[in-house]
Amino acid sequence: MKIAIVGAGINGATAAVELAQRGHDVTLLDPGPLPHPLAATTDISKVVRLEYGADQEYMELAEQALAGWQEWNREFGQDLFHQTGVLYLKRDEMKRGTYEWHSWRLLNKRKHHPQRLDASEIKKRFPAWNTRRYVDGFYDPEGGFAESGRVLLRLVEKALALGVRLRADKAFQELHETNGFVRGLVTQDGRKLYADRVLVTAGAWTHYLLPWLKPYFRANGMPVFYLVPNEPEAFRSTVFPVFAADTSLTGYYGFPINRDGVVKIARHWDGREMHPESDERVVTASEDKDLRAFLRSTFPALAQVPIIHRRICMYSDTWDGHFWIDHDPEHEGLVVAAGDSGHGFKFAPVLGKLIADAVEQNPNPLLQKFRWRPEVKPRKTEEVARFVKRK
């Protein structure tokens, strides 16, 4: 088939590679430059983890992705994925019913080897933490982080080598439809691109480009901070791995110091709904204040260090927290692959296969979970925040 993909983020790039490998004629469109400066993918790091509470399907998919990350390191000849392990700590006992407890239980059930930690062990192994506040949790040595911006560039290079046509200066305007069938798309300069399938992988822009999807998605802005510690050695990956700090209560997670001496800390919380190109897309004074309070209680050595950069990372959230990968039943020839970019990147090595199966309408058990499901939406406004915190 001739396939036009709208959006060269992680969904679009992985789909372009996989579809080209399956013999399709693929064109990848993006307004550019790549990585796009406003896209969620465009950053120094993204978490790669196995833990999804009691959701075994996600853990199984994450296991496949983790093997894929190791394979990409070999294929690309560089360490784009760093296996630092992931540390999950709580301010009280890790009990049944919590995200951490269910993750710990499922890891053991699936023959992984998470290491349970009490306050004394935390203090010994991970001294940057305030063990008067964090007293229980576990360390999973299998996870880590990927250098997201560099990963995207390698994938785009691979797509080009496979014959994918990249139009990194073309912005989508609208679908080109005749008699109820999608025949391609129209770019903002008025040019038509004909295709048998149009695949929209536009992240937080998806429901703005396709406005009939607005009831099913929420573009959610989350703050990200970049700090320079005074004592770099205390934040090396061996003693300061990727972490989630009682995430259901605080929302904060972060990364070890990188080669440029920067520690990244972000908050996955209720966020702020906004267009990804909104003037509101700036970190607020209140978000700064919340970070400083978190640092004082969690990492005292970072409480006063300078913040050298801030950004708002855009999430494309569905109401149930799952991907949305399927054909649009009311626009034949259109496929959408979006939703929940808050956890999408870690699955990069398997995303392309999932999306390509959806485009080709191949049997895949997971695609039932990620099907077109307009019935899933919040009944009350306050459910939005509760849903985000559950993730």
* CATH number of domain containing 20: 3.50.50.60
Residues 167 and 259 in one domain: no
Residue after which a domain boundary falls, among 285, 318, 351: 318
Spatial distance between the Cα atoms of 98 and 200, rounded to a whole number of angstroms: 35
Beta pairing class for 46-48 and 172-178: unpaired
Distance, CA of 135 to chain centre: 28
Residues 240 and 137 in one domain: yes
Question: Residue 358: helix, strand or coil by DSSP?
Answer: helix
Least confident of 38-52, 73-87, 123-137, 222-236: 38-52
Predicted model pTM: 0.94
Tell whether 263 is covered by a domain.
yes
- Interacting residues of 89 by C-beta distance below 8 A, sequence separation 6+: 117, 122, 129, 134, 136, 137, 243, 244, 245, 246
Cα Rg, the chain, nearest whole Å: 21
Residues 106 and 184 in one domain: no
Beta pairing class for 307-318 and 217-227: antiparallel
Residues 212 and 343 in one domain: yes
Alpha helices, DSSP H only, in the chain? 10-21, 56-76, 99-109, 119-125, 148-161, 206-209, 247-250, 285-298, 348-360, 365-369, 383-390
Tell whether 324 is covered by a domain.
yes
State mean pLDDT over 4-11. 96
What own/partner pairs with CB < 8 Å and gap ≥ 24 does 46-49 have?
A: 46/145, 46/146, 46/148, 46/345, 46/346, 47/86, 47/143, 47/145, 47/242, 47/253, 47/255, 47/346, 48/81, 48/143, 48/144, 48/145, 48/146, 48/346, 49/86, 49/140, 49/143, 49/242, 49/346
Residues 373 and 230 in one domain: no
pLDDT cut 70: percent of the chain above it: 96
Q: Which domain holds residue 160?
A: 2-42+149-216+320-380
Residues 121 and 238 in one domain: yes
Beta pairing class for 307-318 and 324-327: unpaired
Looking up tokens 């496929």 gives: 335
State residue 342's pLDDT score. Answer: 59
Q: Which tens digit of pLDDT belongs to each residue from 82-114?
A: 999 999 999 999 999 999 999 999 999 999 999
State residue 378's pLDDT score. Answer: 77
State mean pLDDT over 319-333. 95
Q: Is the pLDDT of residue 387 over 70?
A: no
Q: Which tens digit of pLDDT belongs to each residue from 154-186?
A: 999 999 999 999 999 889 999 999 988 999 999
Spatial distance between the Cα atoms of 245 and 354, rounded to a whole number of angstroms: 31
Return the half-sphere exposure (C-beta side, CA atoms, 13 A cut-off) of residue 195.
Answer: 28
- The average confidence (pLDDT) of the chain is 94
State residue 270's pLDDT score. Answer: 83
Q: How many domains does the chain have?
A: 2
Residue 71, strand partner residues:
none
User: Any idea what the CATH number is for the domain that residue 133 is in?
Assistant: 3.30.9.10
Spatial distance between the Cα atoms of 59 and 55, rounded to a whole number of angstroms: 7
Residues 26 and 126 in one domain: no
Tokens, residue 193: 């691109």
Residues 312 and 226 in one domain: yes
Residues 224 and 333 in one domain: no
Spatial distance between the Cα atoms of 291 and 288, rounded to a whole number of angstroms: 5
Spatial distance between the Cα atoms of 152 and 143, rounded to a whole number of angstroms: 19
State mean pLDDT over 273-293. 97
Spatial distance between the Cα atoms of 244 and 250, rounded to a whole number of angstroms: 9
State mean pLDDT over 290-306. 98
pLDDT cut 90: percent of the chain above it: 90
